[in-house]
Amino acid sequence: MSKQTTDLRIGMVGYAFMGAAHSQAWRTVNRVFDLPLQARMAAICGRDQGRVAEAATRLGWQEHTTDWRSLVGRDDIDLIDVCTPGDSHAEIAIAALAAGKHVLCEKPLANTIDEARAMAAAAARAEAEGVRSVCGFNYRRVPAVALMRRLVADGRIGEIRHVRAVYLQDWITDPQFPLVWRLQKDKAGSGALGDIGAHIIDLTQYVTGQLITGVSGMTETFVKQRPLPAASNGLSAATGDGRTGTGAVTVDDAALFLARLDGGAIATYEATRFATGRKNGLRVEINGSLGSVVFDFERMNELEFYDATRPAAEQGFARILVTEPEHPYMSGWWPPGHLIGYEHSFTHQARDLIEAIATGQAVAPSFADALQVQLVLDAVERSAGLGSTWSEVEPALTEIAA
């Protein structure tokens, strides 16, 4: 590591789950990878003065503020990391890009298509000025997923026939689980579809190199009324629906859709928060004319690969333990067989972004890529509203880049 390393000064907005994960990534990335820029955790921003101060101490940021606009305006900040809920992404990210800051924005890119389009346009303008932007579909940076991508891109499974993708969770199966903001449409935009369905859309398009062109969708809300969080605090249920203490769930609990991809593959997708026993069950299987690949996030250090060009008596799904130095991202970590975890995908994301900034190259997934994912979500919702009738995905004028 040379002495000439230049700092990359980070300003982060938001400090909840994603804020903690991103902080761990910025703190770790230069300890593991030899990079041309040194990440500095300069300042963190949040709405509540007390809580952001506590977060700064806990997560290790040098300064804290409650004013994201001043953060974006500072000359000594190089990159804005947007970890807020989706409804503020557009405003913050566009302002940051306009101020010449590189931007890492969590998914979903925005809560509306219009906002997402504006962000993609702003990112394209900034890109021309050498300002980088990327959307936080971190699962691309799981080494097993990157290896899956590489095998597919190298033609090892041939022509792709089938995509089979599910994202299964179970954290709201209890009907007494309260009506948190993620279950309210005005705050969350959508339910399982946008929250976790977006991940499998991005991941499968990334791995296959194909874009979804049309869908037939269906959504369901199994538990339609839930206790208000306020109610459990003993407060009156001001926002309830008339019945004391409960409110309406206004987003989907589960979303299912069939799809066609532009390279000829057909696909099934399912996102749900009601798959009892499945905690973070992001699973993807892709079948091609020469082989298949299978990934399951609950065993995220493994990739299964079936190579149909092997001798007939020896064919089988090989469980590849993706911890070898020959595997993507792994040379920086531990010896073979020593596993990595969830947050490492964020460290890899930070690494790729730092390298892109240093070398002046684009980094995927771009805001345009993220806009395209939301156009798929939009098509699913339209189809579900029309009795599952086939719905074309509106063009996003984007191509998937590796």
Site for a second copy in 373-402 (CB under 8 A): 383, 387-390
Question: Distance (Å, rounded) from C-alpha 378 to C-alpha 369?
Answer: 14
CB 284 within 8 A of CB 201: no
- The secondary structure of the chain in percent helix, strand, coil, rounded to multiples of 5, reads 35, 25, 40
* Other residues' Cβ atoms within 10 Å of the Cβ of residue 196: 22
Binders in 301-320 for a second copy, by CB under 8 A: 301, 303-308, 311-320
Number of H helices, E strands in the chain: 12, 17
Question: Distance (Å, rounded) from C-alpha 378 to C-alpha 371?
Answer: 10
Rounded to an integer, what is the distance from CA 177 to the centroid of its chain?
25
Binders in 190-219 for a second copy, by CB under 8 A: 216, 218
Helix H or strand E segment including 152: helix 143-153
CB of 375 to a second copy, least distance (A): 18
Binders in 65-124 for a second copy, by CB under 8 A: none
In the bound state with a second copy, the residue whose beta carbon lies nearer, of 316 and 395, is 316
CB 103 within 8 A of CB 123: yes
* Other residues' Cβ atoms within 10 Å of the Cβ of residue 16: 13
| 162 counts as binding a second copy under rule CB under 8 A | yes
In the bound state with a second copy, the residue whose beta carbon lies nearer, of 131 and 294, is 294
| 287 counts as binding a second copy under rule CB under 8 A | yes
Binders in 168-187 for a second copy, by CB under 8 A: 168-171, 173, 175
At residue 46, the 3 state secondary structure works out as: coil
Exactly one of 88, 184, 225, 268 binds a second copy (CB under 8 A); that residue is: 268
| 1 counts as binding a second copy under rule CB under 8 A | yes
In the bound state with a second copy, the residue whose beta carbon lies nearer, of 69 and 162, is 162
| 50 counts as binding a second copy under rule CB under 8 A | no
Binders in 321-350 for a second copy, by CB under 8 A: 321, 323-324, 326-327, 334-344
Per CB under 8 A, which region of 129-137, 161-169, 198-206, 225-233 contacts a second copy? 161-169
DSSP class of residue 154 equals T
Binders in 217-236 for a second copy, by CB under 8 A: 218, 220, 222
